[in-house]
Structures are given as structure tokens and as C-alpha cells.
């Protein structure tokens, strides 16, 4: 048998199988999950059936498969695909919940550090990025150099100067707050 004949035979076997099992699998999935998910899971099931066409019990070349022979195995495949989809949904939901929590924490942190953000905004764009890469991402000057395209020496010098400017700006903010009669950390939580 040539490769082309093998492909045609495989395609004919799959089409015969799909003709017999598509509707029952669709009904099976409709009874077990949200209708919005059924088409995706059915597509994934059919893809697995295509890939494993040689493993389907009771599927003979050239004849229409008997549903009683092929359906139980195909239901097993659909069940596995549905389980995979449910696990993926669970992971997606946990990720969304985690992102929401992080976003809420970020909003709280941003409110708690408004003076820091204001001081950072007073730096130039490159200096601000150097400080963020150093402080927030925990990168060393040689790593920051790789990110920014600067030399490690240039990063060290610019970072040193940027941190000094930042310290001066934060000190001015603190003194201004004290002169107005408020302590710099008044009204903020100690977290």
C-alpha cells in the first residue's frame, strides 16, 4: 500500500467513525457540561480520535463501524478530554483570582507609597527604569546592563546617582510633611 493510499484509508476510517460517534458524543457532553464548552471538548475529542484512529477497538477498514463496538472507547476519550477542559478551567480561574488579588494588593501598595512614586516620577525615564530593575526585580548592575544595553559601569554610575536623587526627593517630601504638622507615616498602616 502506498503512502497516499494509507492516508486515504485512514481518512475514510476516521470519517466513518466520526459519522457514527459525533452525535452520541455531542449528547454525552451536553449532559455533563455547560453548552458553551461542548463544542470545544467535542473538537478536542475528535482530534484525539484522529490521532489514535489505529487504537479504536472495533474499527475495521472499509466497513461502517458498529456503534456498540466503538462508542464505549470514544466515550472514554470524551471523558478524558472533558476532565482536561475542567482542569484547564480551574487553572484559569485560579490564575484570574490570583491576578485580582495581586492587583488589589498593588493598588493598596501604590496608595501606601505615593511619596515614593512621586519621587520616582521626578527621575528621568532611564534612571527610573534602572531603579525599578534594581529594587523591584532584584537585578544586579551587570544584569541591568544586559536589559538596557548599557555597560555595567554606566549602570552602576547612573544607578548610584539615581538612588541619591531619589533619597533627596524622599527627604524633601518627609520634611514638607513634617512642616505641615503631619508625620510622614501618619494615617498609614504599619504593614
Q: What is the CATH number of the domain that holds 91?
A: 1.10.1740.10
The domain in which residue 84 lies consists of 3-103
Question: What pLDDT does residue 182 have?
Answer: 55
Q: In this structure, are residues 23 and 58 in contact, taking their beta carbons and an 8 Å threshold?
A: no
Q: What is the Cα–Cα distance from 181 to 141, expressed in whole angstroms?
A: 40
pLDDT for residue 16? 92
Residue 133 CA: distances (Å) to CA of 31, 106, 119: 52, 17, 16
Does a structural domain hold residue 108? no
**Would you state the pLDDT for residue 107?**
64
d(CA 191, CA 185): 11
- Considering the domain architecture, whether residues 98 and 134 belong to the same structural domain is answered as no
Q: Report pTM.
A: 0.53
The torsion region of residue 140 among left (phi > 0), alpha (psi -120 to 50) and beta comes to beta
In a shared domain, residues 94 and 119? no
Helices then strands, counting H and E runs in the chain, come out as: 7, 0
Say if CB 75 and CB 66 are below 8 A apart: no
Say if 48 falls within a structural domain. Answer: yes
Q: What is the pLDDT of residues 156-182, one digit of tens each?
A: 999 999 999 988 888 887 787 777 765
Check whether residue 119 and residue 79 sit in a common domain: no
Do both 173 and 134 map to the same domain?
yes
Residues lower than pLDDT 50 in the chain:
189-191
Residue 60 is assigned to a structural domain of this protein: yes
pLDDT at 191: 45
Cα 166 to Cα 122: distance, rounded to the nearest angstrom:
8
Amino acid at each position: 500500500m502506498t503512502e497516499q493510499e494509507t492516508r486515504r484509508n485512514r481518512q475514510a476510517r476516521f470519517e466513518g467513525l466520526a459519522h457514527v460517534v459525533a452525535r452520541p458524543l455531542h449528547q454525552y457532553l451536553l449532559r455533563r457540561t455547560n453548552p458553551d464548552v461542548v463544542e470545544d471538548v467535542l473538537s478536542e475529542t475528535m482530534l484525539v480520535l484522529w490521532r489514535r484512529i489505529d487504537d479504536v477497538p472495533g474499527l475495521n477498514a472499509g466497513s461502517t463501524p458498529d456503534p456498540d463496538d466503538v462508542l464505549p472507547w470514544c466515550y472514554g476519550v470524551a471523558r478524558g478530554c472533558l476532565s482536561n477542559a475542567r482542569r484547564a478551567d480551574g487553572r484559569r480561574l485560579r490564575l484570574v483570582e490570583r491576578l485580582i488579588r495581586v492587583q488589589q494588593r498593588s493598588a493598596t501598595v501604590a496608595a501606601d507609597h505615593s511619596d515614593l512614586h512621586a519621587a520616582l516620577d521626578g527621575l528621568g525615564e532611564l534612571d527610573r527604569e534602572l531603579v525599578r530593575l534594581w529594587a523591584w526585580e532584584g537585578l544586579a548592575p551587570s544584569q541591568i546592563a544586559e536589559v538596557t544595553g548599557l555597560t555595567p559601569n554606566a549602570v552602576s554610575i547612573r544607578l548610584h546617582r539615581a538612588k541619591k536623587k531619589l533619597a533627596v526627593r524622599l527627604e524633601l517630601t518627609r520634611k514638607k510633611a513634617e512642616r505641615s504638622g503631619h508625620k510622614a507615616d501618619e494615617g498609614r498602616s504599619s504593614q
